[in-house]
Amino acid sequence: MHHIGVPVSDLARSVRWYEDVLGIAPNGVTISATNPAIGAVVEVENASMRASFALAGDNVLLELIQYDSPQPRPFTGRNSDVGVMHLCFEVDDLDSAHRDLVERGVHVNADPVVLQDGDGVEAGALAGTKILYLRDPDGIQLELFELPS
């Protein structure tokens, strides 16, 4: 995989948030386009956009994209809606990350969950994995994931 593109409402705010909260720093690669061919490729009429890239982990780029035209609609998707995806970031200590997120006032959906068999869960190979869902400033779902030791 080369990169994951995430449309955001305020590029500068999102770049700061992803760096400050998740430690994903921009790598200096940016792009802007107001071009009919680019609009045709992304199937957005009269597209005008700006984007900033950041390295997430060892080899996947995160592309944060702000469309200035057309006016974007706010994110309203649920995890169960077709086409809604989430980004998952592996962490070494989910409990510590959870405390930090709460202290920063980040929207956390619920306390971390440890995947284990029982109570309607068949964890399989993921047994012992801890997960936590949170939302970025636009309400986009993100996941933190700690593998069992």
pLDDT tens digits, one per residue of 7-34: 999 999 999 999 999 999 999 999 999 9
For tokens 């069992």, the residue is: 148
**Angstrom distance (rounded) from CA 105 to CA 94:** 16
Residue 128 has pLDDT above 90, yes or no: yes
CA neighbours closer than 13 Å in the CB half-sphere of residue 131: 14
pLDDT at 119: 86
Q: Omega into 137 within 30° of 0, i.e. cis?
A: no
Q: What is the CA radius of gyration of the chain?
A: 17
**Average pLDDT along the chain:** 94
pLDDT at 57: 85
pLDDT at 149: 84
Q: 44: which 2 tokens? A: 């957005």
**Angstrom distance (rounded) from CA 18 to CA 32:** 20
Amino acid 89 reads F
Instruction: Specify whether the CB–CB gap between 83 and 64 falls below 8 A.
Output: no
pLDDT at 1: 87
